[in-house]
Amino acid sequence: MKRIKITAVRKARYDDLIEKYENPIEHACDIEEGQVFITEGWQKPEGFCDSAWESISPFVMTLAYGGENIYDGWMKNKKSAMISCNDGFRPVSFYIETVEE
């Protein structure tokens, strides 16, 4: 199994949607742009947002087991993927890539 590097490349926040639709919550995802996580296989990295992991883990698992070209030529690096978490209020976009040993 391969190690995977996950980089948070973009984080958005939609305060108008939060105000209109979301109940107050104590702890939202605290991942920041530029933050990097390394997986051992497809195990969730320490400190990684559970909701974000649910969104990206199938792609991490595919890359960890040697999959590539997930988007049929769309990505410049065929051993990578660009995935956003499913949080409609504060989505984070992640660049996921195989770590070459």
What would the mean pLDDT of 13-28 be, rounded to a whole number?
90
pLDDT band at 34 (very low <50, low <70, confident <90, very high): very high
Q: Are 55 and 82 in contact (CB under 8 A)?
A: no
Tell me the sheet residues that pair with 69.
none
Q: Give the domain extent around 87.
A: 4-98
pTM of the shown model:
0.91
d(CA 43, CA 57) in angstroms, rounded, equals 8
- Alpha carbon 59 to chain centroid distance? 9
Domain count of the chain?
1
More confident residue, 8 or 43: 8
Tens of pLDDT, residue by residue over 39-54, are: 987 789 998 999 899 9
pLDDT at residue 69, as a whole number: 94
Q: Enter the DSSP assignment of 60.
A: H
pLDDT at residue 27, as a whole number: 75
Using only the alpha carbons of the chain, give its radius of gyration: 14
